[in-house]
Structures are given as C-alpha cells and as structure tokens.
Amino acid sequence: MNRVITISREFGSGGREFARRLADSLNIAYYDREIISELAKRTNFTEEYIHKLGEHSPAPLFPITIGHTMSPVSNGLWEQQNALFIEQASLLKELAQKSDCIIVGRCADYCLKEFNPLKIRIYAELDSRIARCKSRAPQGEALSDREYKQRINDIDKNRAKYYQFYTGNKWSDPLNYDLCINTTDKDIKQLAAYFAEIFSK
C-alpha cells in the first residue's frame, strides 16, 4: 500500500507550505489545488465554484446519508455539494492508489481511512497566523490585525463545519490526528526539513 500523508491546517498556520516542502523533500506527489482543477474537469462546475463549495459548510442538519426524497433542498445547493463531495472522495482514493502522496485538506484523512494515512494537523497561535498572513499578503492588500483576525476566524469556522458535517468528527480535536505540529514563530522550511528527515528513517 502506498504511503499517504494528509494535512489538516488552520488558516495562516503555514500548513500548505509545510505540506508542499515535505512532499518535495520526500520526493512524493503533492495534491492541493490540483484536486480542484481535476474536479472541474470531471464535473460541470468551475474551479471558483468548487473552491467556494469546499470552503463553506453544507446545508445544515441534513447528513450526507439522507436521500433526495427527504431533503427539502432538492435539486439545489445541497445536491450539488453532495455530488461534489462524492466525486472528490472518489478522486482522493484514485490519487492514493496511484502513488505515495501528501494531500491537503478536503477531509482526506476521513475519505482515505482504508489507506491508513499519517494524519497531520498544523496549527499556530493567532498572532503568529496574523503575522504570516501579512507577510504573504498580495501587493496592495492592507488589512488591519482585526480584519485579519476576522478572516482567519471565518475561514476556520467554515472549514470546521464542513469537516464535521461530512465526517461527524470535530476538526480541531487532536484525537483525530496522529501528529499535531505547532508552527508558532517557526520557520516552515526548517520545520518541513526536520520532519522529512524523521519520516525518511
């Protein structure tokens, strides 16, 4: 069975950079935004729309097992989200079967349970996340610390709802992961190199 590593990350924690550098160091496949691009090819949705669906919680109170005849949101957003998640889970399994890989987000730790992935969560203190967001902000973006805090909280809140809806688990619960890494005031490049050395042994 291929080696599969899944990365769950708080916004601004450097989780995406950590995953990419770790994949490069281990010389294994890395999947993040590539998943959205592939889903767009397989569905009638645009990449922008897929990204929005993946960052927002589905219709509340209706678990994925409910049939269409019982759902009051028939032929609407709920059905689109449901269909997209099923296609996404299928794609993740294809990628895991293809080769060793690192997959960022997308409830991959849950969807790929049968592959026994190494489940990693990346987190950091809020001040560190704000500072990291500022250092990586697009040219011309000038948000206040308060505005960055609001953005971070909003994105993490939606990710948590999305995760709990589809998995039934709490996104921030350390018991859902094999390894939790605090990136507060850490150099992501050095951190990724450190764990790459450990995982290579």
Tell me what pLDDT residue 117 has: 98
Question: Domain containing 54 — which CATH number?
Answer: 3.40.50.300
DSSP bridge partners of 119: 6
pTM: 0.88
pLDDT score recorded for residue 59: 55
Segments in the chain forming alpha helices (H): 15-26, 33-42, 47-54, 77-98, 108-111, 126-135, 145-167, 188-200
Q: What pLDDT does 50 receive?
A: 85
Which tokens hold the place of 9? 């990350």
pLDDT of residue 65: 40
Q: pLDDT at position 56, please?
A: 65
In order of 95, 105, 125, 137, 184, the CA distances from 130 in angstroms are 33, 20, 9, 10, 11
User: For the chain, which residues score pLDDT lower than 70?
Assistant: 54-77
Q: How many domains does the chain have?
A: 1
DSSP 182: E
Burial-class residue 175 by CB neighbours within 10 Å (0-12, 13-18, 19+): exposed
Q: Give the pLDDT confidence score for residue 62 in this predicted structure.
A: 43
What local confidence, expressed as pLDDT, does residue 48 receive?
87
Structural domain range at position 185: 4-200
What is the pLDDT at residue 66? 36
